[in-house]
Amino acid sequence: MRERGREVVYVERGGDVSAKWFLWGALAGAAVALLYAPATGEQTRRGVQRRLRKLRAMAEEKMDELTEHLGERRQRVEDWLEDAEEALELDDEGIEEEEEEGAPVTPRAELEERLARARSRRRGVADASEEQGA
């Protein structure tokens, strides 16, 4: 049996050719639209301006929503980072107490302990702020 090599075909295209025809078509379409427009120039301009104002208002509203959403996400990430930093801080007293008890300290157990302490501190701060607000 003979192995046949695959033939590779390269097709070269001119990159600016399609763009040139697109621009010519857009110009021709604009010219035909102006010639056959059902309204006067003044009416057409007012209609276009009105649509552009609506489009701008919608875009600004969507940008405000996106900014608000990203701000909330950023705050959640910052809160998570603060919790992680608190959990990773070394608590010398807690480590010494565990060593004195003689229980073997695994890295997982130590991390779980730090996370629990950070959560309890955070809940304590949240409870205190709710009491002050009431």
The band of 114, judged by pLDDT with boundaries at 50, 70 and 90, is confident
Instruction: Tell me, yes or no, if the pTM score tops 0.75.
Output: no
CA distance 111 to 105: 10
pLDDT in tens, 81-109: 887 777 776 554 455 555 555 556 788 88
pLDDT in tens, 6-43: 888 777 766 566 778 888 999 999 888 877 888 888 88
Rg (CA), the chain: 34
Kindly report the backbone phi and psi dihedral angles of residue 10, in degrees, each rounded to the nearest multiple of 5, phi listed first.
-105, 135
